[in-house]
Structure 1
Amino acid sequence: MGYDDAQAWKDVNENFPNMSIRYVFILKKGPTWSPDETPEIEALQAAHLANYRRLQEIGKLVVTGPFLDSFAESGDVRGMGVLRADSFEEAHALISTDPMVKVNRLVFELHAWMIDKDILA
């Protein structure tokens, strides 16, 4: 039995009134990732950051950032973020707008996370 987002929201709303669901994304190196710093990669990075600013401005991105230890380039995990969305599907669509994800430089895992409504509101 897989994860049922609608049922999770129902359970949280009925049984945990002080809790809410946020969506955590973990960014990992994708199949086209490389450590190269070219003008194209720099432009892609600028677009990546601009997209996160846009998501923050529309109230969907709570927090995001790289893992400092990922700069050692030894691991696949690059960073994470938290989205405010009405469903898993919406959260998936939001993170899929990342230009780095679109070109497979980064891939992501997405997880539904139950937290106190007052935290990361």
Structure 2
Amino acid sequence: MSVFKSFIAFVGLMFVCASYAEPYDAELAKELDADDYGMKSYVLVILKTGENDESITDKEERAKYFRGHFDNMKRLADEGMLVLAGPLAEDAPKRGLFIFNVDSLAKAEALVKTDPAVKAGIFTYSLTKFYGSAALMKVNDIHKKIQKKPI
């Protein structure tokens, strides 16, 4: 099973498990902008190998772009715009994913274009709307509590 299919199965399992857990919390649902199903709209971004990936061979230059990539992800997460991010285990061309807390492809594209590695052509991307659990909005808060070392 591909990493993407595994991820979708995991999110679906989270939804099923959540539906049998605690009773409905109207205040939390409102805070997370959840609909009646506990879901909301996001935009899923798949990062792919860009046309300049192999041409940037200087280790310091690459490190600069990737440091900027991670710093940008942290900024977007702190602003509540980046819900989830991570590398994909498959080899190129698919390299990673973002899930943005926006409801339009145009807004997500504006956010992904702030990434220094995207600007440099190390990554390119594809965008698609994604309907998932509003509970994903709590991932970054929980992650801060379990992250021992900064990225």
Q: Which structure: greater strand fraction? A: 1
Give CA deviations for 1:43-94 in whole Å, capped at 9, x if unaligned. Answer: 1110110000000010000110111333xxxx31111111101422111100
Q: Which runs of 4+ in 1 moved over 4 A?
A: none
The aligned counterpart of 2:66 is 45
Equivalent of residue 104 in structure 1, options 113, 121, 129: 121
Unpaired runs of at least 5, structure 1: 1-15
Structure with the bigger RCO (C-alpha within 8 Å, sep 6+) is 1
Aligned counterparts of 2:48 and 2:58: Cα–Cα separation in 1: 18
Aligned counterparts of 1:30 and 1:68: Cα–Cα separation in 2: 17
Unpaired runs of at least 5, structure 2: 1-34, 138-151
The aligned counterpart of 1:82 is 99
Aligned counterparts of 1:22 and 1:94: Cα–Cα separation in 2: 13
1:20 aligns with 2:20: no
The aligned counterpart of 1:4 is none
Shift of 1:37: 5.6
Aligned counterparts of 2:88 and 2:40: Cα–Cα separation in 1: 25
Name the count of aligned residue pairs.
Answer: 101
The aligned counterpart of 1:12 is none
Q: What is the percent sequence identity of the aligned residues?
A: 29
TM-score (norm 1): 0.75
Question: Contact 2:47–2:96 at 8 Å: present in 1 too?
Answer: yes
Amino acid across the alignment from 1:21: S
The structure that has the greater radius of gyration is 2
Q: Secondary structure at the match of 2:75?
A: helix
TM-score (norm 2): 0.61
Aligned counterparts of 2:94 and 2:103: Cα–Cα separation in 1: 26
Q: Which structure: greater helix fraction? A: 2
The aligned counterpart of 1:116 is 133
Q: Secondary structure at the match of 1:43?
A: helix
Query: Which deviates more from structure 2 when the two are superposed, residues 16-25 or residues 95-104?
Result: 16-25
Equivalent of residue 29 in structure 1, options 41, 45, 49: 49
